[in-house]
Structure 1
Amino acid sequence: MLRFGPAAGPVVVVALPLFEEANRTRAFAVTILRALAERGIAGALPDLPGQGESLVPTHETDLVTLRAAFAAAVEALKNPSPIGRGKEARSAGRVRATHDRVFALAIRSGTLLDTHAAVTARYHLSPMSGADLRRELIRARQASSREAGDTFDPASLDIASEPVELAGNLIAPAFLAVLAAAIPSTEAIRTVRLETEAKPADVKLPGSPLWRRAEPDNDPAFAQAVADDIAQWIAACAA
């Protein structure tokens, strides 16, 4: 995982959105974590199975695996363990960071991944349900099929036995089936959305929906606004 900021105190762990939106929002997430580090708050961005530098193909991951991996990343930041083995590692002072409080920052469908993590609280940015994600993936596949002069029947997903290509990703049919009922956690959350979003939120911020861009992009001003809000939220959680 990428690490930012101090080795102690609170730490914010990012759950990127699933599939292609992870690529579109990664630079944005890194900018948020760097801004938090400047405020004395640590940050971490783990590559979960099927994301980033992970060697696991997208079609071999599933929601259970992703949730367990995020929970494991959270635990690794709580519990110090020496890098290496035995007394040599400890005497050299090579000990991983340990944090007294861990906060999740989940973006879009990343809010489906922090449900099993033992975090102090959850910061959900433009959260969405698994059913919403599934519909968006299907719409993207239908649009690409029309452009290619083909047709795509969403009902075919219910009988598929092999990975299906949706929005440029091969996805296991079982994963798609589970997504239909997946929802974000409702425990200890702060919900934040863009000003342009109609759904309710604890606060709405000005910014760009980077997850809808055709290519990966960034919005530094939006990232700074999110970092400011997270810093104030963490301070309020400690009060």
Structure 2
Amino acid sequence: MSDRYAWAGGAEAQLCLGPFGDTESAVVLIAPALFEEANRMRAVTVAIMRALAARGIASILPDLPGTNDSLVATCDARLEDWRMAFAAAVPSRPTYSVAIRGGALLDVEADVAGRYHWSPPQGADLVRDLVRARLAGVREGGAAFDPADIDQPGPPIELAGNAVSRDLLRALDAAEPLAAQRVVRLEGDHRPADRRFAGRPLWRAAEPGADPALAAAIADDIADWIA
């Protein structure tokens, strides 16, 4: 079901799945992956939402200002607006934040009952990945790019197919996720985690992909954690 939520800068779309009739039951609010990772992770994110719905748990996936069908231009997106919008998307019922990858940098202001992070990066790691992808494009004949330009005033910078404001890049570079009650990662990722899952890092795939077994396992883990 498509719906909208209001924040200080206007209104944005959100995808809602699962049972919403009981206003006392818990709902999962998903902080999505960012930039091109969001496109690669969309299918598995929705698969997790459908799996949660099958377990009797409602979930919400909000669009961020400047993404998807937002009326805010991508080049005008700001980290503080993303955080404000995500906080405004929290419904008036027990809510648990589930952040995927860079979404862990967004839920810092949300009034939620708990935070669940899947492979959360430091903001600097996310920016580094964007820069690395742009430099790879330069080596393949793309326009010249100097990473030092991020710290200089100027127009938005083209990264991963998006015109990204330098203010947003600098804010992300300094951003860190809040401590979460539960952190999960994939096998092979040796950073601290409460649980590790078998699967491949879909956020690094060349094309969007799906992993039904991984989506089901994460949905089970979220449901158990909330319970």
What's the C-alpha RMSD, in Å, of the aligned pairs?
A: 1.2
Out of 19, 38, 42, the position equivalent to 1:6 is 19
TM-superposed deviation, 1:152: 2.4
TM-score by length of 2: 0.90
Matches within 5 A, 1:92-171: 99=93, 101-148=94-141, 151-171=144-164
Counterpart in the other structure of 1:40: 56
State the SS of the aligned residue for 2:176: coil
Structure 1 residue matching 2:111: 3-state secondary structure: coil
Query: Quick check: which has more Rg, 1 or 2?
Result: 1
Shift of 1:149: 6.1
1:192 to 175, 178, 184: 184
Secondary structure of 1:180's aligned partner: helix
**What TM-score results when the alignment is normalised by the length of structure 1?**
0.85
Counterpart residue number, 1:218: 210
Give the equivalent residue in structure 1 for 2:9.
none
Q: What runs of 5+ residues in structure 2 fail to find an aligned partner? A: 1-13
Is residue 2:72 matched to residue 1:56? Answer: yes
Write 1 or 2 for the structure with the bigger share of strand.
2
Report the CA distance shift for 1:36/1:143 in structure 2 as closer, same or farther (over 3 A). Answer: same
> 1:21–1:211: 8 Å Cα contact kept in structure 2?
yes
Partner residue, 1:72: 88
Q: How many pairs were matched up?
A: 211
Structure 1 residue runs of 4 or more that deviate by more than 2 Å after TM superposition: 149-152
- 1:3-60 Cα offsets, whole Å, 9 max, x none, are 1111131101111111111111111111101101111111111111122221222111
Query: For the residues of structure 2 that align with 1:154 and 1:48, how far apart are their CA atoms?
Result: 26
Q: Which runs of 5+ in 1 are unaligned?
A: 79-98
Say which SS state the counterpart of residue 52 (structure 1) adopts.
coil
1:177 maps to a residue whose letter is R
Which of the two has greater helix per residue?
1
